[in-house]
Chain A
Amino acid sequence: MTATAATRSGPQAIARARVIVSTVRSSARVRQLRVGLALTVALGVMFSISVSVGDFSIPLLDVVPAMLGLGDKGSVFVVHELRLPRALAGMMVGLAFGLSGAIFQSVARNPLASPDILGITAGASAAAVLAIVAGASFAVLALSAFGGAFLLSIAIYVLAYKRGVSSYRFVLVGIGLSSMAIALTHYMITRADIYEAAEANVWMIGSLNAVGWETIGPLTAVLAVFAPLALLLTGRLRALQFDDDMAKGLGVCVERSRLTLLLVGVALVAVGTAASGPIAFVAFLAPPIARRLTGAPLSLLPAALVGALIVLAADLVGRTAFSSTEIPVGIFTGLCGAPYFLWLLARANKRGLAQ
């Protein structure tokens, strides 16, 4: 027995093992790098198409010059005043949703635990509709949505807390509170007059219609603070993907790290929702797509990029598919997300039965 132990820990065995480890690790890293690059290029292309296509088409080649203020005046006006803020907002909202979804799903160790399923966006909607019914300005509406998202998250955390937060309690409490927030929202809509109700409805589906340059500032600021913070916390998030005991054993302050990460996730989803409304299923869909592409169990940046791609693509289709009217972006993401949601539920159910 000792003989085999020696051959397993001898210098030759270790050297061979190192070759295997570094080969496996570097091939995984190369794949992640490639996926990241491909997604960035795809996002750039999608962004340019978004700016180019519309009622007044601008040739793709003229898009970049027009962004810089070069070219004919008409193109520059359309790009600067209409398309650019919308595309920028769509991209940043998608980045925020994708990143937030990846954080939530990893912290809760559950693919169902994205902020839209947990009802954090529903909390934002309730607060936003309240602001609409009260006749508040757009800025107040956005602030109110931001606050609603935070309030609902705090409620989930407090109600789900029992010697730490377990994944299932977290999801169940979230779904419960989500229903309450939705009920409250519907109540307010039935009490509102018809114009306010219509405005509330469009906002709740999630739309980039109303976005202008004034939303870009706050979005950029929040993303600039919280996205790097999320990336800095990646190591801890990796440890938290195990169970609590394992994470503690690895030297992570579990409760503190979890709270910090959730705070980052909530801030990101709140600012996204405040800008565009709760665009359904982006936070829910982007992380698993990113994971499938990279093959890594945690892919924050790819999840953010996929989120941005989804929002821009859905908005583009919504704007251009039917010439007469614009379809809000949230309808398309909802159509794509729902089947995956059902599949996930069915699979979870099967697993539960198997155990």
Chain B
Amino acid sequence: MARLTSYGCSLVQTREDWLNDPTKPDCEQAMTKFLELKAEHLQLAYDQHQVVADLSVQIPSGRVTAIVGANACGKSTLLRGLARLLKPRGGVVYLDGHDIHRMPTKQVAKQLGLLPQTPTSPEGITVTDLVARGRYPHQSLFRQWTRADEEAVASAMSATEVLDLASRPVDELSGGQRQRVWIAMALAQDTAIMLLDEPTTFLDLAHQVEILDLLTDLNQQDGRTIVLVLHDLNHACRYSHHLIAMREGAIVAQGPPSTVITRDLVGEVFGLRCQVTPDPVSHTPMVIPIGRHMNASLDGLAFDTTVHVPTSSLEQRS
């Protein structure tokens, strides 16, 4: 993880920067995967309800970007907009310089993959079949299943360690296993950019870390661009190079987590009092919420321990 934080976090990395980066893994495939995703003056709405008003953003290529913000701040909507699932009311999303809505959707699917928040699987489908369906954009009527398809599915299942589950029905898997299978499917799609909407939400802590480690592997191995919507700020700080904080459909701050995440920003974005200290493991910012019952001074770490929640509430009850 230390390697991740020392990775250098310029806002937008140029192709040259990336190629000269000494920590860059040696992988030829990686260079062809360097694709740019950005939005200009994006307006997104559901029916009459405008969610994103006028948003411009550039996703750093070859990096992990985390989008954070309170519930209903428009982060999932932005992700859906970037993934061309939502037609913008105004503005343009550019993939590699082209208007994403004017590109053939199957063409986009070869370059940009997506994992929705709660995907549903067809009843009774097996793990291998599900992962293989990620190859759809690479197939056609006359090119049904090739060696390349098999290789992509095999390496996706190997990277996500779901080979032992290969012939199991997806319905029977645990939450953590299922999420790895979904990521394997997105991986089999073999895209330069992967967008994931809250991939850790329904998992326990160990499985959350497992998924985030896996995504870091994918980013490090071949410079894949990864965009995540995350709820856990500490995970976002640890695992992303670039962090986008949103509030009411607009970007409040963006940049490396170490400069973006401050006490004031968390207050502004989440309306939450907190302390920010360096994470003892990764040295990235760590957010410690205060809440109503802690009488903490906002300047230091001096907690007033005389007001202790469990005791007082017990006394009230008795």
Q: Is the CB of A24 within 8 A of B114?
A: no
Count of A-B contacts with CB under 8 A?
132
Q: Is the CB of A1 within 8 A of B213?
A: yes
Q: Is the CB of B189 within 8 A of A250?
A: yes
| A239 within 8 A of partner (CB) | yes
Q: Is the CB of A250 within 8 A of B109?
A: yes
Q: Which residues of A contact B3 (CB under 8 A)?
A: 2
Q: From A297, which residue of chain B is reached at the shortest CB distance? A: B122
Chain B stretch 189-247: residues in CB contact (< 8 A) with chain A: 189, 213, 216-217, 220-221
Q: Is the CB of B151 within 8 A of A18?
A: yes
CB 8 Å contact bits of B78-112 with A (1 = contact, 0 = none): 00100111000000000000000000111111100
Interchain CA distance A109-B316 in the complex, whole Å? 52
Segment of A89-97, A241-249, A268-276, A305-313 in the binding face: A241-249
Q: Which residues of A contact B124 (CB under 8 A)?
A: 291, 295, 297
Q: Which residues of A contact B154 (CB under 8 A)?
A: 14, 17-18, 20-21
Interchain CA distance A239-B85 in the complex, whole Å? 15
| B167 within 8 A of partner (CB) | yes
Q: Is the CB of A235 within 8 A of B150?
A: no
Chain A stretch 1-48: residues in CB contact (< 8 A) with chain B: 1-2, 5, 8-9, 13-14, 16-18, 20-22, 24-25, 27-28
| B47 within 8 A of partner (CB) | yes
Given contacts A14-B151, A17-B163, A24-B128, contact A249 B221 (CB under 8 A): no
Given contacts A9-B159, A253-B105, contact A21 B128 (CB under 8 A): yes
Q: Is the CB of B126 within 8 A of A243?
A: no
Q: Is the CB of B122 within 8 A of A109?
A: yes
| B58 within 8 A of partner (CB) | no
| A304 within 8 A of partner (CB) | no
Q: Which residues of B contact A18 (CB under 8 A)?
A: 150-151, 154
* Contact among A8, A27, A28, A297 with B161 in the assembled complex (CB-CB below 8 Å): A8
* Contact among A14, A20, A28, A241 with B126 in the assembled complex (CB-CB below 8 Å): A28
Q: Is the CB of A251 within 8 A of B109?
A: yes
Q: Is the CB of B134 within 8 A of A21?
A: no
Shortest A161–chain B CB gap in Å is 13
| A163 within 8 A of partner (CB) | yes
Shortest B130–chain A CB gap in Å is 9
Chain A stretch 225-250: residues in CB contact (< 8 A) with chain B: 232, 235, 238-239, 241-243, 245-246, 248-250
Interchain CA distance A111-B123 in the complex, whole Å? 10
Q: Is the CB of A235 within 8 A of B85?
A: no
Interface residues on A, range: 35 or more
Q: Is the CB of B136 within 8 A of A243?
A: no
Chain A stretch 194-252: residues in CB contact (< 8 A) with chain B: 232, 235, 238-239, 241-243, 245-246, 248-252
Q: Is the CB of A239 within 8 A of B128?
A: no
Interchain CA distance A291-B129 in the complex, whole Å? 14
Interchain CA distance A28-B131 in the complex, whole Å? 14
| A298 within 8 A of partner (CB) | yes
CB 8 Å contact bits of B285-304 with A (1 = contact, 0 = none): 00000000000000000000
* Contact among B46, B107, B109, B153 with A249 in the assembled complex (CB-CB below 8 Å): B109
Q: From A296, which residue of chain B is reached at the shortest CB distance? A: B129
Q: Is the CB of A22 within 8 A of B150?
A: yes
* Contact among B137, B141, B166 with A24 in the assembled complex (CB-CB below 8 Å): B166
Q: Which residues of B contact A163 (CB under 8 A)?
A: 46-47
Shortest B169–chain A CB gap in Å is 9
Q: Is the CB of A13 within 8 A of B116?
A: no
CB 8 Å contact bits of A280-299 with B (1 = contact, 0 = none): 00000000000100011110
Q: Which residues of A contact B50 (CB under 8 A)?
A: none
Q: Is the CB of A5 within 8 A of B221?
A: yes
Interface centre among A21, A243, A249 (most CB of B within 10 A): A249
Q: Is the CB of B133 within 8 A of A238?
A: yes
Q: Is the CB of A248 within 8 A of B84?
A: yes
Interface centre among B122, B153, B155, B213 (most CB of A within 10 A): B122
Q: Is the CB of A8 within 8 A of B133?
A: no
Q: Is the CB of A8 within 8 A of B105?
A: no
Interchain CA distance A111-B85 in the complex, whole Å? 26
* Contact among B85, B113, B120, B221 with A109 in the assembled complex (CB-CB below 8 Å): B120
| B10 within 8 A of partner (CB) | no
Q: Which residues of B contact A1 (CB under 8 A)?
A: 1, 213, 216-217
Shortest A55–chain B CB gap in Å is 44
Q: Is the CB of B114 within 8 A of A245?
A: yes
Shortest A97–chain B CB gap in Å is 21
Interchain CA distance A232-B136 in the complex, whole Å? 14
* Contact among A5, A21, A22, A242 with B120 in the assembled complex (CB-CB below 8 Å): A242
Q: Is the CB of A252 within 8 A of B105?
A: yes
Interchain CA distance A296-B169 in the complex, whole Å? 10
Q: Is the CB of B110 within 8 A of A251?
A: yes
Interchain CA distance A218-B57 in the complex, whole Å? 57
Interchain CA distance A76-B231 in the complex, whole Å? 76
Q: Which residues of A contact B121 (CB under 8 A)?
A: 242
Interchain CA distance A94-B110 in the complex, whole Å? 39
Q: From A245, which residue of chain B is reached at the shortest CB distance? A: B116
Interchain CA distance A2-B26 in the complex, whole Å? 13
Q: Which residues of A contact B71 (CB under 8 A)?
A: none
Q: Residues of A with Cβ closer than 8 Å to B?
A: 1-2, 5, 8-9, 13-14, 16-18, 20-22, 24-25, 27-28, 106, 109, 111, 163, 232, 235, 238-239, 241-243, 245-246, 248-253, 291, 295-298
10 additional contacts, CB 8 Å, given A5-B217, A235-B141, A245-B80? A5-B220, A13-B158, A14-B158, A21-B157, A24-B167, A232-B141, A238-B133, A245-B116, A248-B84, A253-B105
The 5 A-B pairs of least Cβ separation, nearest first, read: A251-B109, A251-B106, A249-B114, A17-B154, A241-B122
